Structure 1
């Protein structure tokens, strides 16, 4: 490239993206970012994937970051571009997603600009970090600072770019800040000794891993510790699939747990949690952690006791702490609990292998399909190596049970803010550059809110994506509240459009499933799919399981 003093700011921003290894960017162009995007594509050889809505662009970067395990990048324009992205930013913040969002800003000397907005307070209100572009002298430094912070703070960082800087000449020198290695350390304290005593005294210990322990090294160490103390293994939702293949893997702990997992976890008398926040859902509203001694291990002191108060907390690396606990027990010649047994392994295997039977005979469903039966059949049609994304709705627990993710990176999260409608944009981002097929399970209300906006975007991006819509013609959670109080749920019911026809009008093959014959045709279409396909499951709103 030319010397830095001879390129405009928008070109320097694009160059900085290339220096940071960014090859894919999501966004929506406007007068505050269009020249930067053009430079990214034209001069850096990058790929720009345009969304139909700014919130969707941020969600696509959110999904891409999760699936690829690296920083996601999105760009939006000023004013309404930012306000349209607020919900998506909050979702990414609460999901601890490392992202950089390049956000335009209006000229500071034009107070009557139609899209003028005091943007910094809006950005910080979402919980995202803020970097203000200081001027042509600091373009590369400010870009490097945004990427550095996104990595170490594990949240979106918004770079605020005033439009009046775009054609000024950059005077900065290219720079990439080196992210320091996270040094693993082994705790040595009275707390560790007390934790070993608690574990040694347990009759029915459980080893629980969260997202903070979702690495290959931690996985192996936790499996060794669990075997040493005779404990089954479980994970939080965000660490789904971490212990796949282990005969004592109970799967997810919490509101989406299997019956065998719930029974076993309730029986446990001690939980050793590594990198797990122990939130409301992992604890199944608190019920799974009652009357148990809890040892919580986390690399961050702030995470200890942030949600559930442990008996003892230890600040330390998950893998090294687990190995240290096992070594101390060996040194003291402390026996394991003996809780593991062939019968426990058999019950876990039987639960994992046996499909849930449909809840109702077909003739009683009156043109609808049983949700469990449909999801289990479609699950068999998709490769086990897949990305699994879910929108939010009362179907979500059943969806996560029927469609397990193969590993933590394969679970694509978009439900941290409790909003419906975020699933499809997030799934598109996950599918881009992925070698795995991606499955999205959405409700009809959520699909109308956010999915319909980006269905054509999915086709344009050419991704391998299966969209499953759970169509009960209602806002499900509200339907449940009305019916639980013996009230008329009429205002929660909707007459949605024919999703198959809508999909086909946008060039996406669609299938409507009302019975088992339809289901088999749809499953065969999923098995043969290499692009985007939409499956609309017609459900009885009175027969959709709540949890």
Structure 2
């Protein structure tokens, strides 16, 4: 067969079913062959959108995301998306065509390795036409085990070379539970036994099957309240002593509880500056840290006891040793705390809606209450997001797709496309107007073309809100941060979806009726006042 057919077959041999990307000279025949072999190529509008879609697909499926681009500017367009996936620690394979080695003067020629490596992504070169199957297998293995994007570089001149295909079987080991070292467990249990006010904190790494139940058992055994990082959000939803997100997004009861704690028992949480609210969560408290990844232990600050192991295994080992030592539970998870949590209301604020705009918090509460509960949630960057992180929930942390690992806006729509392809749940995307115009507008049509179940809510203050408020806070004119966007509802309809505009709370009734009977992607343009954006309970 030809090389382009062999590469396509090699992807299928590795179990790849979906590929996102943009075709060009150096990759079009490969993915025509991939399509003919029963795979599905999903064309996107921009190369960055393809890599982001692969990221979202990998996050929601727990597997590998695959994207493809051609050479030169196509690859440089992916740089921000690659950095995002690196910081997200997502296994992504990017099949990138390259200009011919002998074609030195090709006007799209660039050192592609030198473009990729500064992003933190890995680089794998297809060495020769006859090694393509092994090269694909190695790149896939690296993406899984290194948990980052790997760019597979494919010279264009290989495409029509005849080769004999050699099947390379997948070489990615199945996930296995890691049993902790008994001495490390004893040291950690010693710290737990001496605590009077322990708090259990779970991160994204605690979202594996069975971990929640093990952590709840441990919390009940030691009398500890439960909390999560942003990435572990909603893991303990419904539990009486769940104080929610810890860190810069904490509500007042969570802040009080953390302030009273004398020990943080962290499972699968990075304890980064945001989770620890610039160390205020961990300062003057003892730390027990548990993670299956040894590189995560002591990463941001030294823990008093650190255990490398599977979260569920370690939690159960803690309980067994506490039982053996007959250590009594504490009373930190008290009935008083349960009562305070039960009485806590996310809608305890003054609504700032006007005749022409809607309070962001009120709209978010309606979305959380009325959008189908079993959903995938993608939140783009923007000022609105600080409230969205707190107000809009998911059934399980793996259904939440974080898109601001690099602090960039505009990455939500690309991720949502991959998420929608990778799940049968409706995909809810929350975005600001600036982020959507920057990185989402063209890809909304991608969602339409591929018939994806995506509903997009745009919180539209006609400005870059974070910059707007900085101007206001210094009594400066915010005009440079404002935009005269068109109404996005009619634009979404012109792109083939259904667009709706919300200027009042009453308009939201029509929105949720439309969502219930949707047959295509929907975009809801919610008008908000940039001078009336308040956060949390304020």
* TM above 0.5: yes
The answer on 1:411 being equivalent to 2:404 is: no
Look up the match of 2:26: 32
Give SS of 1:313's match.
strand
Q: 1:21 to 1:185 in 2, by over 3 A?
A: closer
The answer on 1:290 being equivalent to 2:290 is: no
Match of 1:156 among 138, 149, 153: 149
Structure 1 residues without counterparts, runs of 5 or longer = 1-6
* Alpha-carbon separation, structure 2, partners of 1:403 and 1:292: 30
Q: How far is 1:100 from its partner? A: 0.8
Look up the match of 2:186: 193
- Kept in 2, the 8 Å contact 1:431–1:464? The answer is yes
Q: C-alpha offsets along residues 46-104 of structure 1, whole Å, 9 cap, x if unaligned?
A: 11110110000111111111111110111000110100001001101110111111011
The answer on 1:471 being equivalent to 2:460 is: yes
Match of 2:347 among 346, 352, 356: 356
Look up the match of 2:311: 318
Match of 1:462 among 442, 445, 451: 451
Question: Number of matched residues?
Answer: 536
Look up the match of 1:514: 503
Q: How far is 1:116 from its partner? A: 0.3
Q: 1:522 to 1:229 in 2, by over 3 A?
A: same
- Kept in 1, the 8 Å contact 2:489–2:501? The answer is yes
- Kept in 2, the 8 Å contact 1:208–1:234? The answer is yes
1:335-350 aligned within 5 A: 335-350=328-343
* Alpha-carbon separation, structure 1, partners of 2:176 and 2:485: 53
Q: 1:255 to 1:123 in 2, by over 3 A?
A: same
Q: How far is 1:11 from its partner? A: 0.4
Q: How far is 1:300 from its partner? A: 2.4
* Alpha-carbon separation, structure 1, partners of 2:352 and 2:143: 52
- Kept in 2, the 8 Å contact 1:381–1:527? The answer is no
1:174-185 aligned within 5 A: 174-185=167-178
The answer on 1:253 being equivalent to 2:246 is: yes
* Alpha-carbon separation, structure 1, partners of 2:333 and 2:190: 19
Kindly report the root-mean-square deviation, in angstroms, between the aligned alpha carbons of the 2 structures: 1.7
Q: How far is 1:355 from its partner? A: 4.4
- Kept in 1, the 8 Å contact 2:352–2:358? The answer is no
* Alpha-carbon separation, structure 2, partners of 1:545 and 1:255: 15
- Kept in 2, the 8 Å contact 1:232–1:250? The answer is yes
Q: C-alpha offsets along residues 139-165 of structure 1, whole Å, 9 cap, x if unaligned?
A: 110011111111111111110011111
Look up the match of 2:65: 72
Q: How far is 1:546 from its partner? A: 5.2
Match of 2:218 among 225, 229, 236: 225
Give SS of 1:486's match.
coil
- Kept in 1, the 8 Å contact 2:361–2:535? The answer is no
Q: How far is 1:186 from its partner? A: 3.2
Q: C-alpha offsets along residues 279-320 of structure 1, whole Å, 9 cap, x if unaligned?
A: 111112322223211111122222112113322222222222
- Kept in 1, the 8 Å contact 2:185–2:317? The answer is no
* Alpha-carbon separation, structure 1, partners of 2:425 and 2:34: 27
Q: 1:309 to 1:489 in 2, by over 3 A?
A: farther
The answer on 1:442 being equivalent to 2:435 is: no
* Alpha-carbon separation, structure 1, partners of 2:247 and 2:314: 24
Give SS of 1:242's match.
coil
Q: 1:361 to 1:474 in 2, by over 3 A?
A: closer
* Alpha-carbon separation, structure 2, partners of 1:29 and 1:472: 36
Look up the match of 1:270: 263
Q: C-alpha offsets along residues 505-526 of structure 1, whole Å, 9 cap, x if unaligned?
A: 1122111111122122223222
* Alpha-carbon separation, structure 2, partners of 1:538 and 1:204: 45
| TM-score using structure 1 length | 0.94
* Alpha-carbon separation, structure 2, partners of 1:530 and 1:266: 49
- Kept in 1, the 8 Å contact 2:351–2:362? The answer is no
Q: How far is 1:29 from its partner? A: 0.2
* Alpha-carbon separation, structure 1, partners of 2:319 and 2:118: 44
Q: C-alpha offsets along residues 303-343 of structure 1, whole Å, 9 cap, x if unaligned?
A: 11211332222222222221112111111111111212233
Look up the match of 1:540: 529
Say which is worse superposed, 303-312 or 417-426, in terms of deviation: 303-312
Look up the match of 1:14: 8
Q: How far is 1:366 from its partner? A: 4.6
Q: How far is 1:379 from its partner? A: 2.1
Match of 1:489 among 478, 486, 492: 478
Q: 1:357 to 1:335 in 2, by over 3 A?
A: closer
